[in-house]
Structure 1
């Protein structure tokens, strides 16, 4: 006796029969006697057909689906629970899958949703009922096997439909015939009158998901349709990789790690960013004291969101590149995390696969060695090895590659003169690989999102179709929202917000997510050390020092800089002080001779201290402009330079011009930090427009002992610092009492606040040794 391979599956019988004892079915339509109980076929009632909704067939929604004891029994359970044929999936119920499919591609226009063509038997057939089934493929189902969560009803239904739609009408008719001939025990009537959707519906009702795929491949092989079998296997591999990618990306990008290693879901912290279409809009020039003209074109533009940028229309276009620009700390990496999270949560289902690749980590791993694009991809996502390499160039598989931090590879990045490569398996330097992608010759069917700071020496090739967006950080109305999300304790959040609102400069600088993050970490550390009722310090210098060091640390961390750190800070400070003296906050890239030379790549690209933008002074003429990250950052760097010049070189930048004889006396180091403060204070009080007000706050804040400890790396080892808090504080109080400059009186009080962030004994000496 030949056994029916379907019955090799260890499927338990239902607890009761839904038919009367006289009902029986066989292939020969011969009745079976009532008393032959062991040969009876129990026929379960018709399950509800799958819900065919309005959405197009796709492989987007992947949920964990556990195979029940019997496929038919699973459909019955859906109906008994009142769910019907359309089961809504949720996180709470991972065993249900929602199906929404269009029937427009079916070969038949006549379809009965309540068709009763499929019945399943749960007892072994008699020997007489067995046919010549020697060529039946072996279909074994072990109920102890672990069910793969990526194998869902929606995917299997869609995948088989896609495959059968590629058969010609004659091929489809042959497929029906083979299916009926080989598996007649699963269908109660011929399949010649039903369409593709009905066929797949009945297969899924009678078999498990994995066996349904097995049957489809077996029949296709009998029809010598190896190409379609390969296509179906590619869909399976893509679906498995799709699921595993989502799970990996959820762990990597869906979690925010706070100070002390505390992990929280990204949604609990993420705050909407302001993103607009276009670029070269210039830096934020909002200032507490000054009114600084904006040289760039600042026409109001509509804010864009993730679904506007990674849109369905964008995916429909070929050879597309998105460049997301923004100054250091503006939230580009935060946008990437949110974008990846949206995809991993099934909110960007028009993207089949997404690979997020941080360029800094790529450079750390592969450096200057030759490597191929696939080697890079497999290093970060080993599951991608199961994909067919043809899928990377297929227009049917929408793959989005996200590269965060393009500035990491701009050394000698000569796009026009770089010889590109086409093969993703061919080893090459990183700059050649990225040039080939940007020129559109590698991965021509892929879609790319690059994040980058405004780079002085970089342009996307004009013949590459691309969109440019600019990130401006937080809008003013949502800046407080970040702190409310960041601090779980509403009382602590309120105190941090009050601290920020105590200074208009802090309010303005909170447009940078990086600044908000550093400020939150700083306040949280105070709460942790001194208790939840600890007093937050006054002043702004300490926060700017933290921002300055964070940018500089990012610039120096994994890169062999051509310029010594101290020399770079000195050069940057000289430029900031010279611009401040002239009362300018941006200059043309072809710098005047009287300004200190500066490497724009070091300043704008790697450290993020400055930025570049374009202005159009005349029609058909563009000028590249240089400015600091923010006007207050320029003032901070200028104050740092004045302070370090006094300590390291015994130079008082605010001394009036002296005779040659006086200059020689510099060797005697006659100037002191007290004299610096006196001269700077006198000069600032004479500025009616207040252009030195913020500068003076930073200058006085430099001598605070907490700030000294942070900037000691820039102080020469042989310098011994003696606190001048008492002397300088007395100087400020005297000026406030004299009230000779009432317009500057408020700023003098701010300077006093900067000086006493943390009180220190006036006789304490600090020796800095490196």
Structure 2
């Protein structure tokens, strides 16, 4: 049977040097509206963790871990990460009989195409016939008879009103309605429930589809470090040239991080290939601004030679080219302010661009500005990547200020006579406005635009643009006073300005060990944060005392705390405002923290209440919390009980706190919650009594108990307390494997109860610590009798007394793998 390849636009150039991208399972469809370069930089700081990778051909196949069928997959990824290429590769492999031969039809759509049908009405079958005429020509009018995959690429570009709460139900694939109603019912599963759906989106738009209708969320991670090298070695067949380029990219932290994005790898390769041809032995560009200026120059040269019939030595910035770039820059800036990445005829008209001229631009500047046509003939325009739009937007703002004195970054865009006559060349006013505006953005959407704008002020970069700039601006002192008092992103701007003086100053303090003694200015704190976050080493342990055990230091270093796996904040005398800030860090989706040590800080008031909101946040990844000697109060335990019911905590250390029986009850109620995930609880030196054991016993025998290790060392539990615990230890619901009872004032009477536990079929105990108790030999003999039981599972036992084994049962003697602190006595 001949299979129809319904629709693949073209075979992309990227597929000829295709480097396999990872699709990873997991995550949520929650919104992340941070600037995507920030997301890439954040991801680069996190240590690699095991993730479930999925091959494209297995996307809709149920795994052994999940019984339900996968109908709808939502794939997230930042712009340019390779989402579209992956869907095209999926379709191409199917069409060439390389994969997914159980699928009969793949129908790839883009939301760009569907947007222009907003006023039209179609049935689902009619929509397929409209885009894929081969299906209509083959006389196929019933899709229910086939195994079908619909691909919807670019949810973030959707301009259809996707209202899942108010849309009427539609089940007939032959009934006409609006395109948005068709999509909603297809996603809901009301329409053609047998079909599979693959939807791609940027992270900021992931929540447009309710999670109830998504069976699996995946993410395209972009290139790993080895894949970056693989790409460049495929791109450059000359081994020496490829090695030089790879080595150069590694020397620039910014370029190396950005090459996580495949499109940026392509831009970088295009630029460096050209520079190596034209500048033999010269210095290669190392900042983002330099890369994008060179990219613009390369495209201008291509137009001059290929389309205008010129020579490579001719000036590439002709008046016509200048006009094109100015028009594209204006469009880029106006649409960036509106948050638009794709443009229709109406958008271009608003910016004063003639639609015929736009088609010319997309014909000659195809690597910058693309015109796309779906099978429906309306035109769609976009820049090849968000970063290209941001660069051209910055160039437009820079050119406008240089040429006319007009500051587009100010709310009131007025041009004074003073600026016209004297201030054209002073960029500091423009830069200050841009910095202030960028800092007002909560999600950093102007961060990269700002880096480009500041980078353009460098004389070396203005030299590269000679011919496009009719005048140049002065940049000699713009970075001396303006940027140093600003936040972390501005250090990337300093990089674009090639100014590393402040960073070097702090690095010297770090190397000399003076940092913990020096009083740092706000700018120096920001520099320290930038250095720590830019370090190629994984941010494993953050120890505040290494820098300064003060509240001010902690608040200024919170971005580093957020990026670290483990935070040591002991002996810091922290106030409530710090706990509020820490709560915010714990609840951040960018947080990497899995262990927090707050021991030896006073938490007797509302501190733990503030912290608990972050701990209960679904984004919180913390699994270990240490609160040793923190003067915990009833309020603290109320907060902890609530946290245990709704967090990911696996280990909780409450040692050396004076805990009352009523507070143990509060703790136990949290432990009994079905949502509690705690595996290890430390309560040594807590003045617990035998009455505390009643509450703990209830928690251990709870049907939802998850505790594996319980440390009760150095508490006056006495024999009655252990007897109470022993009942729960024999419960079939008890999962405890390690019990520490050192220094608990136990006698031989406790051994009788524990012997019963050790010989119980339902006991899970593997390790038992009875050291520093007066068990006497008679008590230990009672324990020895349990060794004869076939249900004995213990492999570590600590005691101060001798233990007696019967030499007649060698097999059972070997069950005790490790006995500590006492000798063996064999008796016949």
Which category describes the TM-score, using the shorter chain as reference length? 0.3 to 0.5
Normalising by structure 1, report the TM-score. 0.43
User: Quick check: which has more Rg, 1 or 2?
Assistant: 1
Higher RCO (CA 8 Å, separation ≥ 6 residues): 1
